[in-house]
Every structure is written in structure tokens, then in C-alpha cells.
Amino acid sequence: MSQATARIMICGFCAREFEEDRAQTACGSCLLNGGCRWARCPHCGYENPESPRWMDRLATWVDRHAR
Ligand SMILES: [Zn+2]
């Protein structure tokens, strides 16, 4: 079984996919380091609130409307 270590998130601003790991790494300089649960997009720098529900809905929406 191949289990993914990083969760794939979709930026709410640029709608690009990125690994949650990268987002947290990018947030290393955050003043709220340790308590910050926001995922900064490595593509555009937008900080996404961690909210799996709308994330899944957005992913579905993007998948349907991408083409
Ligand atoms: Zn982004």
C-alpha cells in the first residue's frame, strides 16, 4: 500500500494543487509558527484556511468545469 504522506490541497485563489507539506514549509516564517493552520500556496502565496469540506467541493467543481 502506498500511502501519501502529504495531503493535496487546492488553492482558493489560483486553484492550483499543492502539497500541504510544501505549504507548511512556506509558512515557516509565520509569526504564529506552531499555531498557524493556514496553508500558504507555493504558487501565488495566498493563505488558504484549512477547510477540507469546501476544499473537496472546490476540487469537484474544478474537475467538472476545468474543461
Ligand atoms: Zn495559490
pLDDT per residue over 12-62, tens digit each?
899 999 888 776 555 555 555 555 667 888 899 888 876 556 556 777 788
Residue 10: CB atoms within 10 Å: 20
Tell whether pTM > 0.85. Answer: no
Residue 3 lies in a domain: no
Domain total in the chain: 1
Instruction: Give the residue numbers spanning the domain of 32.
Output: 8-65
Q: Is the pLDDT score of 9 beyond 60?
A: yes
- Give distance in angstroms: CA of 23 to centre of ligand 1: 10
- The C-alpha torsion from 36 through 33 and 48 to 50, rounded to 10°, is -40
- Give distance in angstroms: CA of 22 to centre of ligand 1: 12
Residue 23 lies in a domain: yes
- Give distance in angstroms: CA of 47 to centre of ligand 1: 8
Residue 2 lies in a domain: no
Strands 17-19 and 8-10: antiparallel
- Give distance in angstroms: CA of 2 to centre of ligand 1: 27
Higher pLDDT, 3 or 46: 46
For the record, the C-alpha cell of 27 comes out as: 509558512
